[in-house]
Amino acid sequence: MPELAEVEYYRRRWQPFHGKKILAADGHPRARVFRDADFATLTTGLAGRVFRDSFCHGKQMFLVFSGPLFVRVHLGMTGELLVEKPGYEPGKHDHWTLRLKSATLVFRDPRMFGRVGPASTTDPRLDLPPAVDDPRFTAESVARALARRRAAPLKAVLLDQSLFPGIGNWMADEILWRARLHPARRVADLPPGAPKRLWQETTEVARAALETIAPDWGDLPDDWLMNHRWKDGGICPRPRCHTPLARETIAGRTTCWCPRCQV
DNA sequence: CTATTTGTTTATCC
DNA sequence: AGGATAAACAAATA
């Protein structure tokens, strides 16, 4: 599920436990979610450390433990963070549990496209490009990103995490719909002004999604494409448009757009 | 039984 | 060689 705003939503679930001590940590050592990690570092290696802080970068989340130790968490398609009672018994898809005095923190991921780890002792933000909700993500960043992918369809560029960190399938469609650009359109034949428009809509979709979803997973407004994209017979929510939405695979992902608004 | 899924990595093909 | 596309990963759901 998670894109930028949903990842931030899950991060906030664990935020109340900043400053708390990890009594123990455990997990299923063979679980695919640990494929990049040193399992011992994330279990026995955490016992006695304090959960100091956490932050998001696009779709990635980082947990900071005393040391410091930075642990990367990616929620993949179906990952989520939960808070359970002390003594909680992990279920089938609960791959990683942090035991605190007041709660059990659980990483759950049925499909296991997500990952926990690796851990590092240096701040990973130093090596990452600015995410789409970062003030350093500018119209110039977008222009540079587009210049690197001249032959690609717009949808593919928006999904590239090295260029638009945090944008996923539904946000990409929302941005292109608002910018009135067809998702299959090649970067090379964009009209002048398109880069600026893409930057503006990317920034605005990220801001509004965070505002609505991050605190309590609120519903997006009905005039967003998101609320219509999966409905059979879905109609473009732009005022007075009423055009049936199109759905096809573009850049390998199911894509929804308005054939009349987007060219 | 088949097709679908808001993600990423790897292999393959121009 | 670089870049785009398809397959693979795994499980639930319709």
- Specify the nucleotide whose C1' lies closest to residue A79 (CA): B7
Among candidate residues A13, A20, A238, A253, the one labeled active-site is A253
Contacts of A54 (CB under 8 A, 6+ apart): A11, A14, A15, A18, A61, A62, A63, A64
Instruction: Give the model's pLDDT for residue A1.
Output: 58
Is this model's pTM higher than 0.85 or not? yes
Instruction: Give the model's pLDDT for residue A192.
Output: 87
- Specify the nucleotide whose C1' lies closest to residue A170 (CA): B6
User: With a 7 Å cutoff on the CB, does A249 touch strand C?
Assistant: yes
Active site residue A197: no
pLDDT per residue of chain A (263 residues) written in tens, 0 to 9: 588 899 999 999 999 999 999 999 999 999 999 999 999 999 999 999 999 999 999 999 999 999 999 999 999 999 999 999 999 999 999 999 999 999 999 999 999 999 998 999 999 988 888 999 999 999 998 998 898 888 889 999 999 999 999 999 999 999 999 999 999 998 988 888 899 999 999 999 999 999 999 998 888 898 999 888 777 778 999 999 999 999 888 988 889 999 999 98
- Specify the nucleotide whose C1' lies closest to residue A168 (CA): B6
Task: Give the residue with minimal CA–C1' separation from C6.
Answer: A252
CA of A235 to C1' of C2 (A): 39
Structure tokens at A164: 């638009």
Instruction: Give the model's pLDDT for residue A131.
Output: 93
Instruction: Give the model's pLDDT for residue A53.
Output: 97
Q: Residue A4 to residues A133, A256, A262: CA-CA distances in angstroms?
A: 9, 19, 24
Return the bridge partners of A27, or none.
A96
Active site residue A3: yes
Active site residue A2: yes
User: With a 7 Å cutoff on the CB, does A110 touch strand C?
Assistant: yes
CA distance A83 to A173: 32
User: With a 7 Å cutoff on the CB, does A252 touch strand C?
Assistant: yes
- Specify the nucleotide whose C1' lies closest to residue A93 (CA): C11
Active site residue A59: yes
CA of A89 to C1' of B10 (A): 36
List all nucleotides in chain B with at least one atom under 7 A from a protein Cβ.
Answer: 4-9
